[in-house]
């Protein structure tokens, strides 16, 4: 399969196997792609196989599927004083 077909297959597998919406699956694959996860696939299309797509779907979901940790609220350094 071509590089583009491979990305489509990974996206489809994430959608079907992990219960994400199509839009969420696309976002995961796009994040992984932007992060360079699929660089080798683009350089060597021979690794774009069905088996590799299944492995990539699992890895991409595991690595990119968790929501970002919310930042802890910033605590005020001022001590409460008497009302003004």
pLDDT of residue 77: 52
With 0.85 as the threshold, say if the pTM is over it: no
pLDDT by 10s per residue, the chain, length 84: 999 999 999 999 999 999 999 999 999 999 999 999 998 887 888 999 999 999 999 999 999 987 654 444 545 455 555 655
User: Whole-angstrom distance between the N-terminal and C-terminal Cα of the chain?
Assistant: 71
């Amino acid at each position: 399969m071509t590089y583009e077909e491979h990305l489509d297959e990974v996206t489809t597998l994430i959608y079907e196997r992990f219960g994400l919406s199509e839009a969420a699956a696309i976002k995961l694959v796009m994040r992984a792609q932007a992060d360079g996860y699929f660089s080798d696939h683009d350089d060597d299309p021979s690794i774009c196989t069905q088996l590799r797509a299944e492995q990539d779907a699992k890895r991409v979901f595991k690595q990119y599927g968790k929501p970002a940790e919310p930042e802890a609220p910033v605590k005020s350094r001022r001590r409460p004083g008497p009302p003004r």
